Amino acid sequence: MQTLTPEIYRRYRDEVFKHSLAIQEYDGLTPRRALTDAEIGARLEIPAELVTEIRCVLEVDGVPLVFWKEAESFKQVRCLKRVKPDD
Amino acid sequence: MSQVARDLGQEELSPEARIKKLAREAGALVVGIASVADINRFAPKGHRPNDMLRGARSVIVTGGKPNTAGAFESPEPRLLTSLRTYPAIRKAIVMKIAAHIEERYGHPSIFYDGGTVWGLVPHMSLKLAAERAGLGTRSLAGGVILNPIHGLLNLSVTITTMPLEADAPLDTPVCPHPACVEIWARERTTPCLSACPECLEGELENGSVKWMRYKAYLCQARARGQGPLGLQKMLYEILQEKDPEQQKLLVFGERFTRLIASASFSSELVAGCYECLRPCPLLAPNRRAGSGAAKTSGV
């Protein structure tokens, strides 16, 4: 399998992101189908395995660390807002 | 079928009825059957049931309540995910169904509960299978399946080569709830959209969902912060830290300690976020302990 290099990652990550399940669009309640890794690979003319590797890196790399860290406080704030305090 | 057998309650159940009875006895709240041919009209090549089991003809979909009613009322969000109920038994239920079909009917069967294989992309869509088996319909909250009686379902499936009579998808969308249609008319938002405007977008029109967008890449960062991806993300931050003293604080700190504990003991490895669904009107009766909805079993 072709090794994923920083250059390949930078070159293809936006296209992989655009066609993957990262953002899921619906007409009404009917999903518009995203492309599989094999279909993205065929479109970009790169092996499907390389698309998978790019996508998997993106799944962790694509969102700033601060958003991951703030997830708990987001949930905590919403949880406390929803649940009535005992008194 | 003889009258005598019927009168004595010894009537032979159809394979479909027997499988559904077994699923409910094993702990499923709802169970439905979809045909692989029908699922394949929507699923892409590589993510179809017969990509997992050669010759697959039917998919039995089971669902249950993801949490206890009490977990939804806890002020501690981590308990809502660590106290998940159906996820603890869902694999055993579909495993029992697979064993039953193989032993009684001789048809090869496998089971699946949504584990990912390539990053976050699953072998097959459990949402699609549940939808085609008539267990519920998609919702504004990231397209998750909502059941008209039980609300949010946690899902698992048995895939088999046995041809079974399929159930029909529901005729009427469960989402939006009438209360949400009223809220939309007043405020141009719904409880789920306002709960998580980062992950969810959408619009209602004439009492139906006109369009919606689910930013899964943001949702997974928010929902899986305590899972393996959260561990990777923090490990990378630690490796990038140039100050050894600061690096020590990150490694020994509460967050990284919890991530390591999760990886070591699976204590919280199943991360999650329910904030868009917590205010959903469809979940309200489901959350009330002892309510009729909570006691109802099977679809």
d(CA B46, CA B66) in angstroms, rounded, equals 28
Residues B58 and B143 occupy one common structural domain: yes
d(CA B169, CA B134) in angstroms, rounded, equals 4
- Confidence band (pLDDT; 50, 70, 90) for B210? very high
**ipTM of predicted assembly, 2 dp:** 0.92
pLDDT in tens, B149-182: 999 999 999 999 999 999 999 999 999 999 999 9
Nearest to B225 among A20, A23, A71 (CB): A71
Domains of chain A, first to last: 6-82 (1.10.10)
- Whether B260 is in a domain gets the answer yes
Q: Residue B244's domain spans which residues?
A: 225-265
- Whether B188 is in a domain gets the answer no
Domain C-terminal end among B172, B193, B215: B172
Beta strands B30-35 and B121-122 are unpaired
Residues B67 and B130 occupy one common structural domain: yes
Residues B36 and B168 occupy one common structural domain: yes
**Contact, B205 vs B236, CB < 8 A?**
no
DSSP assignment, residue B44? P
Does the beta carbon of A78 lie under 8 angstroms from any beta carbon of chain B?
Answer: yes
d(CA B250, CA B258) in angstroms, rounded, equals 12
Residues 39-58 of A with CB under 8 A from B: 39, 52, 55-56, 58
- Whether B213 is in a domain gets the answer no
Number of residues in chain B: 299
Residues B128 and B245 occupy one common structural domain: no
Chain B nearest-CA distance from A52, in A, is 7
Chain A nearest-CA distance from B193, in A, is 13
Residues B47 and B112 occupy one common structural domain: yes
Q: A24–B173: do the CB atoms touch at under 8 Å?
A: no
CB neighbour list of residue B159: distance below 8 Å, 6 or more residues apart: B36, B49, B52, B53, B56, B58, B59, B109, B110, B111, B112
Task: Suggest the residue from B118, B196, B198, B213 to mutate for an interface test with chain A (most A CBs closer than 10 A).
Answer: B118
Does the beta carbon of B164 lie under 8 angstroms from any beta carbon of chain A?
Answer: no
Structure tokens at B102: 């193989």
Nearest to B212 among A20, A26, A55 (CB): A26
- Whether B192 is in a domain gets the answer no
CB neighbour list of residue B275: distance below 8 Å, 6 or more residues apart: A74, A75, A78, A79, B77, B195, B196
pLDDT in tens, B10-22: 678 999 999 999 9
- Alpha-carbon dihedral sign for residues A28, B201, B151, B180: negative
Residues B46 and B110 occupy one common structural domain: yes
pLDDT in tens, A19-74: 999 999 999 999 999 999 999 999 999 999 999 999 999 999 999 888 888 888 88
Structure tokens at B174: 């469960």
If one counts the domains in chain B, the total is 2
Amino acid identity, position B88 = A
Nearest to A28 among B78, B208, B255 (CB): B208
- Confidence band (pLDDT; 50, 70, 90) for B227? confident
Residues B161 and B21 occupy one common structural domain: yes
Structure tokens at B127: 């949402």
Residues B106 and B254 occupy one common structural domain: no
- Confidence band (pLDDT; 50, 70, 90) for B2? low
Residues B141 and B260 occupy one common structural domain: no
Task: Suggest the residue from A13, A17, A18, A63 to mutate for an interface test with chain B (most B CBs closer than 10 A).
Answer: A63
Domain C-terminal end among B107, B138, B172: B172
- Confidence band (pLDDT; 50, 70, 90) for B291? very low
Residues B133 and B248 occupy one common structural domain: no
Which of these, A67, A68, A5, A21, lies nearest to B120 by C-alpha position?
Answer: A21
Residues B230 and B129 occupy one common structural domain: no
Residues B251 and B138 occupy one common structural domain: no
